[in-house]
Amino acid sequence: MTKANNDGRKGHARKRKLAARDGMVCWLCDKTMASLAKVHCSVDHFTPRSLGGSDAMANLRLTHPLCNKVRGNILGVDEARARVAAYHALAPTRSAKRKKRRAMGQVHRLTFEQKLAAQKQDEDADVFATERYAG
């Protein structure tokens, strides 16, 4: 296990307990998590720590790291889930476009020329494309 995937023995045991209790499901977006590894799964405080929430199991939920980040410190369940849903509705483009490129047989790491070609294809396919390829 790499460091990036490791929560430490205690952290991982806690995730396993939460998964056993709630399932491998993100409480913010209702989608399943690929694994309990840190890149796929984080522990969210139902009542944020910054607002006095505790580390007790009753206050913990499993989430995707991104959903957790998007939620921030929003307290209301409906508000938090609505914010995460809105985020995912507005920002699916990056993974969708990567998936499309993969389906076309392109490798994950594109050369500069491939990036330009992909950008051209995306622009051709969708004149309203807003994604930048500066990165």
Point out which residues bind Zn ion (CB under 5 A).
Answer: 26, 28-29, 64, 67
| Buried b or exposed e, range 99-135, using 16+ CB within 10 angstroms | eebeeeebeeebeeeebeebbebbeeeeeeeeeeeee
Can you tell me which residue has the tokens 């622009």? 123
Least distance in angstroms from the C-beta of 127 to Zn ion: 31
Is the CB of 36 or the CB of 67 nearer to Zn ion? 67
Which residue's beta carbon is nearest to the bound Zn ion?
A: 26
Cβ proximity to Zn ion: between 28 and 60 the closer is 28
Rounded least distance, CB 69 to Zn ion, Å? 10
Instruction: Give the nearer residue to Zn ion in terms of CB position, either 25 or 110.
Output: 25
Q: How far is the CB of 23 from Zn ion (least distance, A)?
A: 13
- The least distance separating Zn ion from the CB of residue 4, rounded to whole angstroms, comes to 19
Q: Which residues of 65-79 are buried (b: 16+ CB within 10 A; e: fewer)?
A: bbbbebbeebeeeee
Whichever of 28 and 80 has its CB closer to Zn ion, that residue is 28
* Tokens (6 digits) for 99: 């998936």
What's the DSSP call for residue 24? S
